[in-house]
């Protein structure tokens, strides 16, 4: 009988936490939708572009497994096509998984640029292996690819460096990413958020 009571309490606590998470997600989606509208852009809670497949050549998109994009704003800013979205992927398998959350912007500059990947030290634990042993460093970024473009991007993005901004250029596409404030680690053996 005591086990049944504990199980019911655990289920109620889980249901409440999922409701709270859903309300937070809806609140963020509403704020982003309003901001998109103010910028003259379109907004979708779901991913209308299949971002994990379309942009799989970007380091962040190809990290981990189970990638998912949501809260997608898209449209034009000045001459550039822009897509901004929330992105998450999982690392780990079995009973120990960690979900990594990012906010990302992809800008089509329509200028063929040399490739460069710059990963911020603030997010070093999730840096792709290729950039960890890359071509060099520019302030708080380790990078691989064009040294000249890395220096230009560093100067342009210096103010966001403390926030953990990472950048990648592939051809005409520029991707800017910021790690979300929280990372939720899920321990399936305990069925509760941890660490």
pLDDT value for 40? 87
Residue 171 has pLDDT above 70, yes or no: yes
Report the half-sphere exposure of 164 (CA within 13 A, side-chain side).
16
Place of tokens 């998470």: 21
Structure letter (DSSP) for residue 63? S
Mean pLDDT for the stretch of residues 111-125: 90
Structure tokens at 1: 């009988």
Residue 189 has pLDDT above 70, yes or no: no
Lowest mean pLDDT: which of 23-32, 55-64, 75-84?
23-32
Q: Is the pTM of this model over 0.75?
A: yes
Locate all alpha helices (DSSP H) within the chain, ordered by sequence.
Answer: 2-38, 51-54, 129-132, 147-157
Alpha carbon separation from 136 to 60, 133, 179 (Å, rounded): 19, 8, 22
Beta carbons within 8 Å of 36's beta carbon, 6+ residues apart: 42, 43, 73, 75
Label residue 128 by pLDDT band (50, 70, 90).
Answer: confident
Whether 150 contacts 130, CB under 8 Å: no
Per-residue model confidence as pLDDT tens digits over 90-103: 888 878 888 889 99
């Amino acid at each position: 009988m005591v086990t049944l009571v504990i199980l019911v309490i655990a289920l109620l606590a889980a249901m409440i936490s999922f409701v709270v998470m859903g309300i937070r997600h809806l609140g963020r989606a509403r704020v982003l939708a309003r901001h998109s509208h103010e910028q003259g852009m379109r907004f979708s809670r779901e991913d209308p572009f299949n971002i994990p497949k379309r942009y799989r050549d970007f380091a962040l998109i190809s990290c981990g497994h189970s990638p998912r994009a949501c809260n997608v704003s898209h449209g034009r800013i000045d001459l550039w096509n822009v897509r901004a979205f929330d992105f998450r992927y999982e690392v780990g398998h079995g009973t120990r998984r960690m979900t990594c959350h990012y906010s990302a912007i992809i800008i089509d500059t329509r200028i063929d640029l040399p490739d460069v990947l710059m990963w911020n030290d603030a997010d070093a634990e999730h840096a792709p292996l290729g950039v960890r042993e890359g071509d060099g460093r520019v302030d708080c970024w380790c990078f691989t690819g064009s040294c000249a473009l890395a220096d230009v991007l560093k100067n342009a993005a210096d103010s966001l460096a403390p926030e953990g901004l990472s950048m990648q250029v592939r051809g005409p596409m520029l991707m800017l990413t910021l790690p979300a404030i929280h990372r939720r680690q899920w321990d399936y053996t305990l069925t509760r958020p941890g660490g």
